[in-house]
Every structure is written in C-alpha cells, then in structure tokens.
Amino acid sequence: SFETEVPTEMEMERRISSTLAFLPWLVCVDGERMAGYAYASKHRERAAYRWCVDVSVYIRDTCRRSGVGRALYTSLFALLRLQGFCAAHAGVTLPNEASVGLHESLGFRPIGVYPRVGFKDGRWHDVGWWQLPLRDRSGEPGPTLPMEALRRAAGWDEAIAAGLKLLSR
C-alpha cells in the first residue's frame, strides 16, 4: 500500500461507504479477525472510462498464501461482470512476486509500468499495471448496474459462493 499513515477506523468506514455507493467491497473474516478485503474503484473520472475499474486486495500477513486473496477476487470479479464492467486493472508495487503471481494466475496480463511513481520508506517505487478482461469489448457496452440493483440481481449468491467455495478446500 502507498498509505504513509495507517487510516483511522472512521476513515476506513468513510472509504467503504463511499465505495459501496457504486461498487463492491468484500471482506473475509477468520473467526473474529479480518483475514482480508478486496474492492473495486473507478478507473478514472471521465465518462468514457466508466466500464473499467481498478481493483485492490489486501490480506492480513498471517493469512497470506491461504487462498483468501483468490477467494475474494473470484467473488469480486463475478460481481463486476454482473454489473456490466468490461475490464479490471490492478496496480502492484514492484517488486512483489507473490502479488504478481496471484494476479497472473487469475488471468491478468501486464500492460505497463509507472517507473519511480511513489515515494515511501525513503525510496522511490515502481508500480506495474495488470489488466483482466471481464467481458467482451468488441461493441458498444450496455449500462452498468448500480449496487442496489446488483444486491438483488440473479447471480449475486452464485458470485459470493464462487469465492467461498475456494476457502472450504
């Protein structure tokens, strides 16, 4: 993460509420502790970008390599497809073999690198960008489904179950 300070609980609540107005934010809980979360955000503000999203996944250190990231992303991508989004983009601070491996194993392909774009911990960091096609982009896309409609859509339960199934292995 390029956070330079840990966000407060109130700030995280604000971010989650703001995201959930338009896009999914999923949380995986292990007992009483959060194991990880994944969410989508607008790729850019201009109208022509409205069918593309950026995605992020964060996994608690003790839950890494347990399938939580894959499970969260599996459900998130299924929900984004239901909403009508066409592509997901993920930025990865480099080097990060584990994150690159996860993204590429899920079908993401590298599309470029922003060299020395973020300064943290006393040094500059590169960010690589990966893209995952979610739907066909050969014609004009239809409208995207708002969150309130997505929650009632046929396919919601299946999208969530697809990720949960990966956790019960």
**pLDDT averaged over the chain?**
94
pLDDT in tens, 88-142: 999 999 999 999 999 999 999 999 999 999 999 999 999 999 999 999 888 999 9
Domain range list for the chain: 9-90+130-167
Q: Which helix (H) or strand (E) holds 71?
A: helix 68-83
Domain 9-90+130-167 falls in which CATH fold?
Answer: Aminopeptidase (3.40.630)
Q: Confirm if 103 and 111 have CB atoms less than 8 A apart.
A: no
CA distance 87 to 132: 6
Which H or E run contains 40?
strand 33-42
Q: DSSP letter for 144, please.
A: P
CA distance 157 to 19: 20
Q: Is the pLDDT at 3 greater than 90, yes or no?
A: no
Q: Which two tokens stand for residue 146?
A: 């708002």
Query: 61 — phi, psi (to 5°)?
Result: -50, -45
- pLDDT range class, residue 169, cuts 50, 70, 90: low
Contact criterion met (CB below 8 Å) for 28 and 68? yes
Q: pLDDT of 9-39, one tens digit each?
A: 999 999 999 999 899 999 999 888 999 999 9
